[in-house]
């Protein structure tokens, strides 16, 4: 059976955490329609053993971090809060890059304030290398240097990188040392396998986003449900195709951590039950035949 424990950098964590992005309103903008339901999901996540919550100040903006603080403070001992920096929202909900070193420092300060903590366990530098490879970005060394200064000041414990190429991961490992990489990866989109391999080589935690494939690129739960190999494994274990996809991810690397998000307690419980799924060698062989869906970056 899949082990339930792993690590985020040097910190022990449950292998299934919680991604808080969906707790904001539509388009990850504004407040949710039912804040009480969001609070119920956060409380139930903690009851089920979640000790790793992934958030960002630009979810809302402000909305999600405020919900987390209002619902969970005083925070349970051992709860790891992870955020990301490098973007801001405009007044219409648009996403804008804001990744100069001073921008990153200001965003970390906002996260500290809204989460109500003195130090954040891990801050991911969110770049645009994969979804907008032609974009002009500040020099990576300057960005990592700014986060390293915050780490030295005790405001950040671990540095991570997100939405990046294998070369950026290698540079970050060699220059500042990183606790995690957060990139798109799923049974339907394995294009990030070289980064996952590099993380294995250096024992760096790996956190996939779009773990069910990206609906923007033709993936997602509907593609999983339509795949006969996923379907056969789902029928064998009496679980959903999405649970098969999450269990497959956990089988790839013992430091791979999941952060599925939801506004539903029932869906949260379904996600957490993936740790009880024991994929055997025949299952994994069958799932290797799943045809990847090309996802644009």
Q: Which amino acids are annotated catalytic?
A: 59
Q: Round to whole Å and give the CA distance between 54 and 60.
A: 14
d(C-alpha 138, C-alpha 162), whole Å = 15
Distance between CA 264 and CA 292 in Å, rounded?
A: 28
**9 — alpha (psi -120 to 50), left (phi > 0) or beta?**
left
Provide φ and ψ at 32, rounded to 5°: -70, 155
Full 3-state SS string of 220-252: CHHHHHHCHHHHHHHHHHCCCHHHHHHHHHHCC
Terminal-to-terminal C-alpha distance of the chain: 34
Two tokens at 131?
Answer: 């979804």
């Amino acid at each position: 059976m899949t082990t339930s424990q792993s690590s985020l950098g040097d910190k022990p964590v449950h292998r299934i955490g919680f991604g808080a992005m969906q707790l904001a309103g539509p388009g990850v903008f504004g407040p949710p329609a039912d804040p009480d339901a969001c609070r119920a999901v956060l409380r139930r996540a903690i009851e089920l053993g979640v000790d790793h919550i992934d958030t960002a100040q630009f979810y809302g903006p402000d909305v999600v971090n405020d919900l987390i603080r209002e619902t969970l403070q005083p925070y349970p001992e051992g709860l790891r809060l992870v955020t990301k920096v490098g973007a801001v929202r405009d007044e219409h909900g648009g996403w804008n890059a804001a990744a100069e070193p001073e921008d990153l420092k200001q965003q970390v300060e906002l996260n500290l304030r809204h989460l109500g903590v003195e130090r954040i366990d891990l801050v991911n530098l969110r770049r645009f290398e994969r979804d907008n490879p032609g974009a002009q970005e500040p020099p990576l060394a300057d960005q990592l240097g700014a986060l390293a200064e915050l780490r030295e000041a005790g405001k950040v414990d671990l540095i991570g990188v997100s939405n990046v190429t294998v070369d950026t991961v290698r540079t970050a490992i060699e220059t500042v040392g990183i606790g995690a990489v957060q990139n798109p990866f799923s049974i339907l989109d394995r294009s990030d396998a070289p980064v996952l391999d590099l993380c294995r080589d250096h024992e760096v935690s790996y956190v996939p986003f779009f773990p069910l494939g990206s609906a923007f690129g033709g993936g997602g739960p509907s593609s999983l449900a339509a795949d006969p190999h996923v379907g056969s494994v789902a029928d064998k274990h009496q679980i959903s195709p999405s649970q098969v996809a999450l269990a497959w991810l956990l089988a790839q690397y013992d430091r791979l951590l999941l952060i599925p998000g939801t506004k539903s307690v029932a869906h949260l419980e379904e996600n957490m039950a993936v740790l009880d799924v024991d994929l055997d060698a025949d299952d994994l062989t069958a799932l290797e035949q799943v045809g990847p869906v090309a996802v644009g970056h």
